[in-house]
Chain A
């Protein structure tokens, strides 16, 4: 009797509990598909000087469609090969800024400092700035995100 009660109770608990877990963690674990984002014309990139590009991306978060701002620093030494650095600090996610006087990226939150190519100079960041995969089509630079 006691065993029957506990097993039926367990069954009912699992029937609600297991879907409940999927319900709670479901949207959190969803992976966004990689998309190519149009960043801008390569003619705007200054030689040997990280150039900030800003663009917006239409994203669906929950039931709301939002314009997400994406910023990236584009670097080139020859006008043909490009490196696109994320402006998100690898420490805790604040946005880094290129300070031209110092020729370094500075993070305002915890004094993380990165060199022109994104490598860590000083401060708490555990790894260099992330790089976006990129391609150039008809003079337009695209980055891949996802």
Chain B
């Protein structure tokens, strides 16, 4: 029965071909450092799932944000777990993308023909940092408020355009309800859309081109 259904689907989707191309492709003999990208992808999926769950209760306004976060953490069953995973997963994302980047850099894996994979990877790093920066404000506690005050002020010291960037980031001269709302919108709409688009290109290229082998010392040639 299940086999029949699988065949029926395969005739229409050719999913076996896709499965083979994605999971059964030939890879060179590599080491554990090559799992950093997959590890990052895994944590990203956890962040997406827990993030969606958090939006079921979180409210991004100054008079409700903190209380709703406390409600999630202390009143809801497994709320502490969902928020905890999202909180620690955020730090794990930063650590993993940087390690992944270092692996690719030191193995020279960014070279021809993988330049576009590298560029989308660097953009993904920026997106992940953006997630961290915008997500940090959302609990709207003292740490969040002052960290964002400082963070946006740092952007403000850029020559010429600094004040302009600061005002755009804050949605005005000071941190306010507008800041919280736009950080939330950026965190749950703009950045996830960018993330999904960039990961799609990144992974397509990984599968299309294949991964690089571990560089070897070759003194004969």
Contact = CB atoms under 8 A, between A and B. Distances in A.
A6 interface: no
The bracket for how many chain A residues form the interface is 10 to 19
Contacts of B53: 20, 23-24
Q: Interface majority SS on A: helix, strand, loop or mixed? A: helix
Contacts of A19: 77-78, 81-82
Contacts of B49: 16, 20
Nearest to A19: B78
The residue among B71, B78, B81 with the most chain A CB atoms within 10 A of its own CB is B78
Contacts of A22: 77-78
Contact of A63 (B50, B56, B67, B78): B67
Interface of B: 46, 49-50, 53, 56-57, 64, 67-68, 70-71, 75-79, 81-82, 85
A26 B71 CA distance: 12
Interface string A36-63: 0000000000000000000000000011
A62 B78 contact: no
A16 B57 CA distance: 17
B64 A63 contact: yes
A63 B64 CA distance: 8
Nearest to A20: B53
Given A16-B49, A63-B71, A26 B57 contact: no
B46 A23 contact: no
B156 to A, nearest CB: 33
Nearest to B46: A16
Contact of A62 (B68, B82, B85): B68
Closest 9 CB pairs of A and B: A19-B78, A63-B67, A63-B71, A26-B77, A22-B77, A23-B78, A22-B78, A19-B81, A63-B68
Contacts of B70: 63
A62 B71 contact: yes
16 contacts: A16-B46, A16-B50, A22-B78, A23-B77, A23-B79, A24-B56, A26-B77, A26-B78, A27-B75, A62-B57, A62-B71, A63-B64, A63-B68, A63-B71, A63-B75, A64-B67
The residue among B46, B77, B82, B85 with the most chain A CB atoms within 10 A of its own CB is B77
Contacts of B75: 27, 63
Contacts of A27: 75-76
A26 B46 contact: no
Nearest to B83: A23
A24 B72 CA distance: 11
Given A16-B49, A23-B53, A63-B67, 15 more contacts: A19-B81, A19-B82, A20-B49, A20-B82, A22-B78, A23-B56, A23-B76, A23-B77, A24-B56, A26-B78, A27-B75, A62-B57, A62-B68, A63-B64, A63-B71
